[in-house]
Structure 1
Amino acid sequence: MQKKIFISYSWGTNEHQEWVLNLAKRLMNDGVEVALDKWDLQGGHDVFEFMESMVKSEDISKVLIICDKNYQIKSNNRDGGVGAETQIITPEIFSNQKQEKFIPVVAERDENGKVILPIYLASRKYFDLSKEEYFEDGYEELLRNILEAPALPKPKVGKIPSYITESSSNNNQTNFILRRLENQLTKNPEKINSSSKEFIEIFLDNLWNYEFKSTSRDINVFGVELVNNLHSYKEIREDFIQFLEIVTKPEFTLDVDLLINFFEQAPKYDKPRELGNGGNQTPDNFKVIFHELFIYTIAVCIKNTNYVLAGDLLYSGYYYEDDYMRQDGAKNYCYLCGYHENLQTYYSREFNKVTGFGDFVIANLSPRINKMTFILADTICHYISELHFSSSYVNWFPLTHLYKLNNDFDFFKRLTSKRHFEKVKHIFKVSDENELKIVLNTYKNKNSQRERIRYGSGGFNHIPFIDSVIDITKIATER
């Protein structure tokens, strides 16, 4: 919308009148409509009525008050047209909420170099055009003010940080560290690894608070206690997922070894922290926890499109320590996908569920992760284990795939796009599309007489082979 302004000034000398006229012309040339007595006050018009109509008109967005010595004297003494105009403007300034309508423009300084302003404008912000050496800067600032186009526009109000909105009911130590980490990385992103290490160490230490000791050997009682235990850790689980959402953003340079070292700690939680502490100890709860946390980690990497980090997690060696704190060489991530006997027995007997783990984690999915993204992450873990670790003693079975409505994942369908392939190729550990075709065809030919991987013995539901969800011939054939 075009801006219209009125220029108020004292005629004074011819030189001053010319100065005002040139200012008006330049503003007109720069897209501002200017109301000026020399243009708009016709013969026979009432001078005072014209001034009052200009000052009070809603069409006038700004009134420029050109301040020189002559205007100052007449305004302070309420003399002549300027004095009358001052009497009109003064109550407007002090009663109208939009005081920014009246803008003092300094055209002259006194003999001591001080700006000249009438008394009623002495405390107001002005624009200084009194000296040639900074006239251009002052004019641009004035023009931006009129057009409401500041050189430094006020930023839009953003989203309240999650460490403020989500901390009201979560008083866990992990949540405190998480809020501090999020705040630190906003200011100092180079501290990503030291801050992440601190969070992981605190998380692992606090995880022991959820050590499970059943009071009964009855599977019904035992099962309820196990599920309640897993429910109880959801708050710090959400802290971990939010931590992942922050540190796996591609703009950060997170050291993947921090996450690898985290998952290497899983076996330590397979036995009581303190031997002889009583109770019927079972490792099932921690096995479930580390299993689902690995899926969440891959899912968050997919969500943040950090496929390089996801690839590093899927192909790195994990130096797990066994029950006797011995290391037996590097294993792959499939070690985390164990059989959760107690959870499975309880869900099978109580709810007739094919997969206890799958039903539990899907029913208790974090609101931060889309269901399909979580199942996709679980499925990718399975496919990579099939392609690259099929000879291993332990493979990854996607227990959540059963809860997918169909067999189509957009992630795999989009592999016909070269752009998508270039982004996700790290997931498959290949450098180009031809290499992926070779990997998939080798797998397909090697397993030509294979049977479908099913849920349970003779179950109806099965996992589709990867070469049936990816059209090998069309990989990276489109833009």
Structure 2
Amino acid sequence: MSVNVPKVFISYSHDTQAHKKWVLELAQRLRNSGVDAILDQFRVSLGDDLGGFMEKSVAESNRIIMVCTDNYVTKANSGLGGVGYEKMIMTAEYMTNIDSNKVIPLIRQNGTHNVPTFLKTRLHINFSREDEYELQFDNLLREIHQAPLFKEPPVGNSPFESVAEKPLESVMDKRMELLKEMVIFYNKGKSSLYFDNLHRLLGCSKIFAEIYISALLDDQFIQRVQHYSIGVSIDAYQITDRAKLYAIEQGWVTE
């Protein structure tokens, strides 16, 4: 099996046959969705050492799903270690040695949302409503695969920070991309460009184009010039001597 496949151990109490079937189907769906779900119903036979199986599974798994029913919570809080499958995995002393985000409490109760005392402060996922099963399964699967629905975007540059106050980053932002394109056009004999030309070069919204152009004006990399067409004045933009020197420093132009 690929090393990239997440391994998940499912801990639960054998409350009823219906509950065991629900857990089995959850494990089967996880396995069908790229998760190595470890379950006693798959791997434990008569005569096997349940305690050893659980300890080994917990140690080797990336995550642990604790299916919290009222019966499971009662046994966990009581530290009952001699009831077959719940041996050792239920004790708070054992669980406190596990990484803080390794355990995923899964609520599977009717009317209550109890979890073992030592999991009270951890975020849980709620599978108590059948009509929300698909939504919660998707949330669970994304958590296991580390594929969140919404990813945190990178922090951009402050639009109010001038080049004079802070040297430009080595990774060019949109302003520098635009300036580089203007330098290229200047070398090709195009000394000035209209707003529509710059807007197309940026490939962004008009508002952001105005912000980037304004920033280059403030930093004195470009200047506004007037062109006349049929008696009408039209704004155009051209690079300054400062921009030319900066282009040479950046290696955008050579002799």
TM-score range, shorter chain: 0.5 to 0.7
CA deviations on 1:380-431 (whole Å, 9 max, x unpaired) are xxxxxxxxxxxxxxxxxxxxxxxx84xxxxxxxxxxxxxxxxxxxxxxxxxx
For 2:141, which of 134, 137, 143 is the aligned residue? 143
For 1:82, which of 83, 86, 110 is the aligned residue? 86
Structure showing the higher strand proportion among its residues = 2
Give 2:46's aligned amino acid. Answer: G
* Alignment of 1:9 onto 2:12: yes
Partner of 2:69: 68
* Alignment of 1:102 onto 2:103: yes
* Alignment of 1:316 onto 2:228: yes
Mark the CA change 1:372 to 1:160 in structure 2 (over 3 Å): closer, same or farther: closer
**Distance between the aligned counterparts of 2:120 and 2:9, measured in 1?**
20
Contact 2:89 2:95 in 1 (8 A): no
- Structure 1 gaps of 5+ residues are 171-243, 263-292, 299-312, 319-328, 334-360, 375-403, 406-479
For 1:25, which of 25, 28, 40 is the aligned residue? 28
**Distance between the aligned counterparts of 2:24 and 2:166, measured in 1?**
65
Question: What's the TM-score once normalised by structure 1's chain length?
Answer: 0.37
Mark the CA change 1:22 to 1:159 in structure 2 (over 3 Å): closer, same or farther: same
Give 1:148's aligned amino acid. Answer: Q
**Distance between the aligned counterparts of 1:149 and 1:85, measured in 2?**
28
Mark the CA change 1:22 to 1:316 in structure 2 (over 3 Å): closer, same or farther: same
> What CA RMSD, in Å, does the superposition of the two structures yield over aligned residues?
4.0
Give 2:63's aligned amino acid. Answer: K
Partner of 2:160: 163
Give 2:66's aligned amino acid. Answer: I
**Distance between the aligned counterparts of 1:367 and 1:82, measured in 2?**
69
Residue 127 of structure 1: how far off its partner (Å): 0.8
Question: What's the TM-score once normalised by structure 2's chain length?
Answer: 0.65
Give 1:141's aligned amino acid. Answer: N
Contact 1:74 1:83 in 2 (8 A): no
RCO comparison, higher one (Cα < 8 Å, 6+): 2
**Distance between the aligned counterparts of 1:5 and 1:317, measured in 2?**
70
Partner of 2:51: 48
SS at match of 2:152: coil
Residue 33 of structure 1: how far off its partner (Å): 1.5
Contact 2:51 2:87 in 1 (8 A): no
User: What does residue range 188-267 of structure 1 map to in structure 2 within 5 Å?
Assistant: 248-250=198-200, 251-252=205-206
Mark the CA change 1:167 to 1:39 in structure 2 (over 3 Å): closer, same or farther: same
**Distance between the aligned counterparts of 1:27 and 1:54, measured in 2?**
16
Partner of 1:184: none
Residue 66 of structure 1: how far off its partner (Å): 0.5
CA deviations on 1:266-307 (whole Å, 9 max, x unpaired) are xxxxxxxxxxxxxxxxxxxxxxxxxxx8x9448xxxxxxxxx
Structure showing the higher helix proportion among its residues = 1
Identity %: 25
Mark the CA change 1:30 to 1:332 in structure 2 (over 3 Å): closer, same or farther: closer
Runs ≥4 in structure 1, deviation > 6 angstroms? 329-333, 369-374
Partner of 1:367: 246
